A and B are shown apart, each in its own frame.
Chain A
Amino acid sequence: MAWTWFHRLASPPHVYRLAERLTPWFAWSSALLILAGLYGGLVLAPPDYQQGEGFRIIYVHAPSAWMSLMVYTVMAVAAAVGLIWRMKVAHAVAASCAPVGASFTLAALVTGSLWGRPMWGTYWEWDPRLTSELILLFLYLGYMGLRSATEDVQRADRASAVLAVVGVVNVPIIHYSVLWWNSLHQAPSVMKLDKPSMPLDMLVPLLLMLLGFTLYFVAILLMRLRGEVLSRERNASWVKEALSR
């Protein structure tokens, strides 16, 4: 009984309809949260005592960096589910994730380097977090490259799923090896960008932005998922009904 929801998630027509119904809810609530977070972050939050107004980049940099990691995790979990239970819908979720994750990884890199210019005095520093982020971008590019190089959708699904799972095992290893490498080669960064105790009027907008971006991701994912499910479906009966709307 408890597993019926899981089985229904494996059914493409059910997922298509569910995604269609849920998308506007996620889209509008994320828009509200992001607008509130922007107002709080740009207007209400006081300037930082060390970085002045420059710290406000955090309200776009942190959500982008969070997206890059969260999306990769979602992608890898969906890929593993798809491999283990041979679930088409799970593969469709994984396939929907990659372009979103890659674009936000790029955003996190660029905003990070724009933040680094006034704080470190240089656009690029081989800081462990920026370096890991760069490697994450390469992982996304490899995943997308493998998908587009494989013509058969089912084979692309399963091959890229193996890559995503191998990648997610490697992400922590890469992160810690980069940290270790960095601590051997240079003194810790000039400025610690995250302070353990952030005042509440700075923290609340950040949390709003993080939640808003997460809901935004769900909305985008649901929209892409519908397309991916349709393109994997050869059974006409429900597709016809779905297209009539």
Chain B
Amino acid sequence: MSTSTVMQPAASSTSALTAARLVLERDLRLAFRKREQLVQPLAFFAIVTTLFPLSITPELSRLREIAPGVLWVAALLSSLLALEFLFRDDAQDGTLEQYALSGQSLTWLLFAKTAAHWLLTGLPLSLAAPFAAGALGAPASAWTGIVASVVLGTLALSLLGAIGAGLTLGVKRGGVLLSLLVLPLAMPILIFGSQATELAMKGASIAAPMYLLAALTVLGVTLAPIAAAAAVRISLE
């Protein structure tokens, strides 16, 4: 944490924000060249959602009761699946090391990477969520509430997950460990997210859980990139 201020050369011509924007653009461009990374989490989300009607019941009236939980567990697992690749490629080809040595604030660069990651996985998931919910019996009136809650929830999850991804960078086959680290910390997101979805499906006000989700997201935006930068530095040593 303290190291990020120590290493900076005095004259770096680009500002932190410009550098962050460049990283964001680069990551988005790279992802659109490799489409399977975009499609896989979505396909996984759809498959997990399908498992529940098949294993419990095809009756919409009974599925409706468990729909919020199913939706959020599926969203949580698909975001986790994508998290493993958040830093991996860039760590393997040395890009991450260049970032750490660039003199730019690593916190900002990783924040940009996390933002790109969310745009590539969290946002599509949020847009797919109402269809999954509809298939589980959610009324169309709940769609905006569902999208809003999944947007905030996946955002908080990506930020939290960036810490876990940074910590498990040096670990071989760290996927399971990553889930073990991130899932317990993600419980509040799951609780408030499925609460918001449930309230939205009942047609009630979702303000209370949404405020709490927003608070978690704000906390994540302010603190998580700092912790993620510390984690990545440790893993790169």
Contact = CB atoms under 8 A, between A and B. Distances in A.
Contacts of B184: 135, 138-139, 142, 174
Contact of A141 (B174, B180, B185): B180
A139 to B, nearest CB: 5
Main secondary structure of the interface of A (DSSP, over half): helix
Given A138-B184, A142-B181, A155-B237, A166 B191 contact: no
Contacts of A184: 195
Interface stretch (A13-21, A103-111, A175-183): A175-183
Interface in A70-97: 83-84
A149 interface: yes
Interface string B198-237: 0000000000000010001000000100010011001101
A141 B180 CA distance: 8
B163 interface: yes
Contacts of A173: 188, 216
Interface string B146-188: 0000000000000000010001101100100100110111011
B183 A138 contact: yes
A163 B167 contact: yes
Nearest to A137: B184
Nearest to B223: A169
Contacts of B171: 146, 149-150
B2 interface: yes
B66 to A, nearest CB: 13
Interface residues of A, number: 29
B2 A162 contact: no
A146 B177 contact: yes
Interface residues of B, number: 28
A53 B222 CA distance: 50
Contact of B187 (A84, A158, A177): A177
Contacts of A83: 1, 230
B192 interface: yes
Q: In this complex, which of B177, B188, B223 has the most chain A Cβ atoms within 10 angstroms of its Cβ?
A: B188
Contacts of B177: 142, 145-146, 149
A212 interface: no
Contact of A135 (B174, B187, B230): B187
Q: In this complex, which of A83, A169, A170 has the most chain B Cβ atoms within 10 angstroms of its Cβ?
A: A170
A150 B183 CA distance: 20
Contacts of A155: 170, 234-235, 237
Nearest to B216: A173
Interface string A109-135: 000000000000000000000000001
A165 interface: yes
B230 A142 contact: no
A158 B237 CA distance: 11
A163 B195 CA distance: 27
A158 B1 CA distance: 11
B195 A150 contact: no
B191 A163 contact: no
Contact of A181 (B195, B230, B235): B195
Interface of A: 83-84, 135, 138-139, 141-142, 145-146, 149-150, 154-155, 158-159, 162-163, 165-167, 169-170, 173-174, 177-178, 180-181, 184
13 contacts: A142-B181, A146-B171, A149-B168, A159-B170, A162-B227, A163-B163, A163-B167, A166-B185, A166-B227, A174-B184, A177-B191, A177-B212, A180-B191
Interface of B: 1-2, 163, 167-168, 170-171, 174, 177, 180-181, 183-185, 187-188, 191-192, 195, 212, 216, 223, 227, 230-231, 234-235, 237
